[in-house]
Amino acid sequence: MPLRRPIRPLILALCTLLAVAGCSADPAQPAPSSAATQELAVQAVNTSAESSDAESARSAELLRLTPADLHAESSWDLPRYLVQWPAVPGHDGLTRKIREQMEAWKKSYVTSMRGAERANLSAYWSATLNHEGIVGVRLTAETTAADSATESVALYGDPANPWTSKDLLRSEDRPALATMMREAAQKFTRETPDPDIPPADPSDQVFQDVSFTDAGQVQIRVRPGELASMSQGVLQFTVPEKHLSPLGEKVRAAVLAQGRENHSTPSASATPAPSAASRTNCAVAKCIALTFDDGPGPYTPQILDTLEAKKAKATFFMLGPAAQSQPDIVRRMAALGMDLGDHSWSHPQFTLLSPNEVKREVRSQADVIQRLTGRRPMGVRPPYGAFDQSTPHEGFPFILWDVDTEDWKNRDAAITTRRAVEGAHRGAIVLMHDIHPSTAKALPGIIDQLKSQGYTLVTVSDLIPQLSPGSAYYSGATGK
Ligand code: ZN
């Protein structure tokens, strides 16, 4: 299996349009395959099945990015957004185009969604190509408000020039191709166009996401509402190669060459979860669980140094972009036997999101942890501790806390220490944040004082060995 396969969309429906025959909407029925008569194939793709984080992690490797090359902007206030993009080393023109597109999406979203309660924008990227200086990147924006919408743009470039998707197609072919795509979309969706509404000029919007399969097939994705009604979603067309411009041929050749050169590399070697034998038996020991949220951050290595030196364990509830951009820290946590937890992708308040948005937040973070360590997170800590009966658990237990150091508020090592130690009791789950220097500074003293009181510092899964999906835990069974 090629290592760098493009995003594999969930195919909701697939039908091949023939010049003569109509469209078979039954996906179980094999599509007639007469290459001579085949003009365009069209399918609906569910882009929300493309997990942004796992794809970005693969993509960061493909583009050989360092954490410094990854940019993320987020707002936790309304309207909420998380916009992420890469600076592609050595490709300044392409990087500029990427940034411009992301900023354009963010600006139009913030302007149109100002004050909207339910609004959420997630803009992310994936790399499709990096071969001999030719790079391909797909940018995707998903907005949720009253309705949800998805739009994607594929950009390409070499070190000298950026190219848009449109540049990959023969300019003289584009008008006819747009017409064929419109007709194919109408057959596929069985929608009849409103004769009163003239078709929009397709020159830009129809050709903004041109990409290639591993086999070199040319695919064009069109955003909802462009060639069919919004409810039809994203449509993907497979078009004949003869419409490629010389530049398009060059990019396609790079895709094929990249596919040939792909050697399978071992996937992230699984770091085995601590075996039952190595667990502390908290029925016997006086256990307490320190937990750290919102990282990894700049002080996390120092916190891990302290835990390692003092032979203490803890649990880290991480955010997606932070974990993704600092894989070595996450792997070190795993190697040290820490619990790895899921604090969502972008720290939204779950009770303000739709169930699908919560699922996406939880799953996308979990996929990063899985990819980096081979392990699924042991549980989910909902941001702000906010969840209710309708919050999807995605197979995870909810891990809350019963001792709050308020370290994020006091930012004071002495106060944080006092609150941790005074709140301590057998079975306690203690809330801290590994993004504050005062917390890192407080930790050695906290551990020393707890140990002097006979505590063993353990992970949450040591404290509560039988965590069950969908249940909420505030402390160990012996606590509270
Ligand atoms: Zn948090």
How many CA atoms does the CB half-sphere of 191 hold within 13 Å?
17
Let me know: does 69 contact 95? Beta carbons within 8 Å.
Answer: no
User: What pLDDT, on the 0 to 100 scale, is given for residue 5?
Assistant: 32
- 138 alpha carbon – ligand 1 mean position (Å): 30
- 347 alpha carbon – ligand 1 mean position (Å): 6
- 44 alpha carbon – ligand 1 mean position (Å): 37
> Which of 144-158, 159-173, 349-363 ranks highest by mean pLDDT?
159-173
User: What pLDDT, on the 0 to 100 scale, is given for residue 267?
Assistant: 43
- The residue annotated as part of the active site, out of 243, 343, 433, 436, is 433
> Which of 105-119, 317-331, 415-429 ranks highest by mean pLDDT?
415-429
- 275 alpha carbon – ligand 1 mean position (Å): 29
The pLDDT confidence band at residue 153, using thresholds 50, 70 and 90, is: very high
Which range (64-73, 321-330, 360-369) has the least confidence?
64-73
Which range (7-16, 123-132, 134-143) has the least confidence?
7-16
- 150 alpha carbon – ligand 1 mean position (Å): 28
- 319 alpha carbon – ligand 1 mean position (Å): 8
- 117 alpha carbon – ligand 1 mean position (Å): 20
**pLDDT of residue 303 exceeding 60:** yes
- 419 alpha carbon – ligand 1 mean position (Å): 18
- 14 alpha carbon – ligand 1 mean position (Å): 42
* Percentage of residues in the chain having pLDDT higher than 70: 81
User: What pLDDT, on the 0 to 100 scale, is given for residue 6?
Assistant: 33
Residues, beta carbon < 5 Å, ion ligand 1: 293-294, 383
> Which of 62-66, 72-76, 222-226, 416-420 ranks highest by mean pLDDT?
416-420
Q: What is the largest distance, in Å, between two alpha-carbon atoms of the chain? A: 83
* Tokens 């004949």, residue located: 240
**pLDDT of residue 36 exceeding 90:** no
Cα 210 from chain centroid (whole Å) = 22
The pLDDT confidence band at residue 444, using thresholds 50, 70 and 90, is: very high
- 346 alpha carbon – ligand 1 mean position (Å): 9
Burial of 349 from C-beta contacts in 10 A (0-12 / 13-18 / 19+): middle
- 413 alpha carbon – ligand 1 mean position (Å): 19
Higher pLDDT, 197 or 404: 404
pTM over 0.75: no
CA distance 345 to 317: 11
433 as an active site residue: the answer is yes
- 401 alpha carbon – ligand 1 mean position (Å): 12
CA distance 474 to 463: 11
Compute the mean pLDDT over every residue in the chain, rounded to the nearest whole number.
82
Mean pLDDT of the region 134-149: 82
**pLDDT of residue 313 exceeding 80:** yes
- The residue annotated as part of the active site, out of 293, 294, 367, 407, is 293
User: What pLDDT, on the 0 to 100 scale, is given for residue 183?
Assistant: 87
What does the pLDDT look like over 237-271, one tens digit per residue? 999 999 999 999 999 999 999 988 764 444 444 45
Which range (6-15, 110-119, 235-244) has the least confidence?
6-15
What does the pLDDT look like over 325-349, one tens digit per residue? 888 999 999 999 999 999 999 888 8
CA distance 480 to 263: 54
> Which of 46-50, 150-154, 163-167 ranks highest by mean pLDDT?
163-167
**pLDDT of residue 288 exceeding 90:** yes
